[in-house]
Structure 1
Amino acid sequence: MTIDLLAAAAGAGAAAAPPAWMTFLPIIGMIAIFWFLIIRPQMNQQKQHREKIAAVKKGDQVVTAGGLVGKVVKVDDVYVELDLGPNVRVKAIKATLGDIIPPGGKPAND
């Protein structure tokens, strides 16, 4: 009888280890959360920005990454020529444009 009790106690204490894939499940879950909450929306936002900048045309009012507001005079594949004021024209790299100001709109700080 004592042997049966010892065998039962030994069997109850030796629980089976979880499968190996279960130990990676929390890490996979965190990666999925980061993907759907941070990485994927940022990729969509960058894609929309690239499409918007690619559609810049003559006459649009734009804001550069440096904060300059100007009117597009000439558009090239790589460069954009901006009119910043009377007798002030600047050649900027198209990728450095921050935003296109809608017609009739004002910059946020005016």
Structure 2
Amino acid sequence: MFISNAFAQTAGAASTSATAGFMQMLPLVAVFVVMYFVMIRPQMKRQKEHRAMVEALAKGDEVITSGGMLGKVSKIDEQYLSVEIASGVEIKVQRTAVVQVLPKGTVSK
């Protein structure tokens, strides 16, 4: 008596189990989609913009480094820059340490 009732209940639920399983996975998939558009995609865009800025550096550009130093680019190598932070004082930094390129004339003010 108990076995046939249990069998009848599982037989009815078996036809909807595929739909129920999908509905349980839907919120998890939605969370990953939202995380991609809110966190991952903007970060990738910022990295791409920073890479383009670093590749476009030229001699004479005024920059801010990640350490907070303001200066003018005096020499450019493949991986390093020489930045003049005061008259006659040059430091060597990695190209990726440049955070921002400033408008011309900002450092001398």
Q: Tell me the residue number matched to 2:65.
A: 64
Sequence identity (%): 34
Contact map agreement 1:53 1:99 (CA 8 A) in 2:
no
TM-score by length of 2: 0.78
The DSSP-based 3-state class of the residue aligned with 1:19 is helix
Aligned pairs (5 A) from 1:78-97: 78-97=79-98
CA distance in 2, matches of 1:92, 1:33: 38
The DSSP-based 3-state class of the residue aligned with 2:71 is strand
Q: Tell me the residue number matched to 2:28.
A: 27
TM-score by length of 1: 0.77
Aligned pairs (5 A) from 1:1-110: 16-17=16-17, 18-105=19-106
**Equivalent residue pairs, number:** 97
Q: Which has the higher helix share?
A: 2
**Cα RMSD over matched residues?**
2.3
Contact map agreement 1:57 1:72 (CA 8 A) in 2:
yes
Deviates more, 1:89-98 or 1:14-23: 14-23
